[in-house]
Amino acid sequence: MKQSVYDLTQQHRSIRQFKDEPLSKETIKKLVQAGQMASTSSYVQAYSIIGISDPEIKEALKEISGQQHVVDNGYLFVFVIDYYRHHLINEATEGNMKPSLESAEGLLVGTIDVALAAENVALTAEDMGYGIVFLGSLRNDVAKVSELLGLPEHVFPLFGMAVGVPSEDEQGSPKQRLPFEHVFHENKYQSASTEQLEQIKQYDEDIQAYYEQRTNGQRSESWSAQISKMMGQKTRPDILDRLNEKGFIKR
């Protein structure tokens, strides 16, 4: 019996080691078409997907991300917020779209559109038996990514996605998520800090055990510790400037 989409979601885990088996042109097209059928705010379709087939560009993107799986995969996509076409329509029609193009709301709409399209691509790839990993590490140098990919104004790179046949060395199991009760709130947000922290404490213990088991005891870190460390660092402080340069979030 064919597995359900629900079953597929429960099996997800990021794959970072792939076999040297490039995706066919048909598969690439199918994945992009799957992305295109995602819901999109007000039919705005504020995204593009850039496929990287040039080994030199791939290599340069790997340098930016610092991750080998950016280059060693079956195919690499880069997902960008894209209001360039809207900007062109605005110019051609002498329209009044500039405030929307430059608004914080426009940035949210575009980001949501990209994420929805990307998850459709991811699920479809996984349904075809491929593994995927998202690559936010491309935002380590947004200016360089923009230059390499020739991104015009009103286009901003959000992340990449490596897709491919999982290598045999890719052992592992799905990473347990936060408890259902912790992320699902009925009618009103449950902000009681004692309950919130209690649920996180149990989760921390589970995640610590997961890391210990997965790394033969070499990594022993709770989810809270991991997140505190990550979010305690000031990451990519230039993003607002880069967004502004591309015509985003000016109002």
Ligand X SMILES: Cc1cc2nc3c(=O)[nH]c(=O)nc-3n(C[C@H](O)[C@H](O)[C@H](O)COP(=O)(O)O)c2cc1C
Q: Residue numbers of the site for ligand X (CB under 6 A)?
A: 12-14, 16, 67, 133-137, 159, 174-175
- In the complex, minimum distance from the CB of residue 68 to ligand X, in angstroms, rounded to a whole number: 10
Give me the phi and psi of 18, to 5 degrees please.
-120, 155
* 193 C-beta neighbours (distance < 10 Å), count: 7
CB-nearer residue toward ligand X: 86 or 156: 156
Q: Distance (Å, rounded) from C-alpha 75 to C-alpha 20?
A: 10
CB-nearer residue toward ligand X: 23 or 133: 133
CB-nearer residue toward ligand X: 28 or 161: 161
Burial of 235 (0-12, 13-18, 19+ CB in 10 A): exposed
* Nearest residue relative to ligand X (C-beta): 136
CB-nearer residue toward ligand X: 83 or 159: 159
- In the complex, minimum distance from the CB of residue 90 to ligand X, in angstroms, rounded to a whole number: 29
CB-nearer residue toward ligand X: 69 or 246: 69
- In the complex, minimum distance from the CB of residue 221 to ligand X, in angstroms, rounded to a whole number: 12
Sign of the four-CA dihedral 161, 167, 170, 174: positive
In what side-by-side order are the strands of the sheet with 155-164?
A: 47-52, 75-82, 155-164, 131-135
140, 157 in Cβ contact below 8 A?
no
- In the complex, minimum distance from the CB of residue 152 to ligand X, in angstroms, rounded to a whole number: 23
- In the complex, minimum distance from the CB of residue 161 to ligand X, in angstroms, rounded to a whole number: 9
